Structure 1
Amino acid sequence: MKKILFLCSKNKLRSPTAESIFANVEGWEVASAGISHDAEVHVSLEDIEWADYIFVMEKNHKKKLSNQFGKALNRQTLISLDIPDDYEYMDDALIKILKNKVPSLVR
């Protein structure tokens, strides 16, 4: 079972969309959270330690994550998807981008 964590800023639009569309992929266990202090669901140390793959939506999320959890980020594959905060929850264009990018990055 691959454990995949999707992160964006506030856990309102991009990462919950990713969690929703990949929730039923066989062999994947998925979750989402936000990096900002005012996120709907704030990422925790437990989330980081649980994950095999961590997908962040923007490069600056990678930096923030390293600042917050640097010592815990030692075995996970950490990937920036470079998806700007330009999409609504379950936006068709966002779903297409996620489906085109994510599966090929999970081994």
Structure 2
Amino acid sequence: MFICSQNRWRSLSAERLFDQHPRYEARSAGTEPGARVRVTAGHLGWADVVLVMERRHADILRQKFGEALAGKRLINLRIPDKFQFLDHVLLDLLRERLREQLGPEVL
């Protein structure tokens, strides 16, 4: 589960990296009221791993959904909000951080 603020650029781009992936399924959501898809406890319950773009997203999730995060791996990818949807630099950075955190077999 990928989380950013608005679910328009970073987390949605990350989700798209997994379209048609033979082994993994990804979803995305945002933390802000105007998000394209706003994160819920149900999203977090679905996820095996929760990946946020910034520390503040992790803080919001812990505050609002602490119980739903119990036992979940929560990873901060440290990707700033300065990229457009499917920006090639963003996609390269996502691939790099995902391999660092989850292993080379992920992408």
Aligned position for 1:95 = 91
Structure 1: unaligned runs, 5 residues or longer? none
Task: Describe the SS at the equivalent of 2:27.
Answer: strand
Equivalent residues of 1:13, 1:90 under 8 A apart: yes
Aligned position for 1:61 = 57
1:92 maps to amino acid: H
User: In the TM superposition, what are the counterparts of 1:50-89 in structure 2 within 5 Å?
Assistant: 50-89=46-85
Give runs of ≥4 in structure 1 deviating > 6 Å.
none
Q: Percent identity of the aligned residues?
A: 36
CA distances 1:3-35 after superposition (whole Å, capped 9, x unpaired)? xx0000000100000000122222101000001
Note the C-alpha offset of 1:57. Answer: 0.2
Distance 1:50 1:102 in 2: 19
1:20 matched to 2:29: no
Give the stretch that moved more between structures: 18-27 or 39-48. Answer: 18-27
* TM-score normalised over the length of structure 1: 0.91
Note the C-alpha offset of 1:101. Answer: 1.2
Note the C-alpha offset of 1:39. Answer: 0.6
Number of aligned pairs? Answer: 103
* TM-score normalised over the length of structure 2: 0.91
How large is the Cα RMSD of the aligned pairs? Answer: 1.1
1:9 matched to 2:5: yes
Equivalent residues of 1:53, 1:78 under 8 A apart: yes
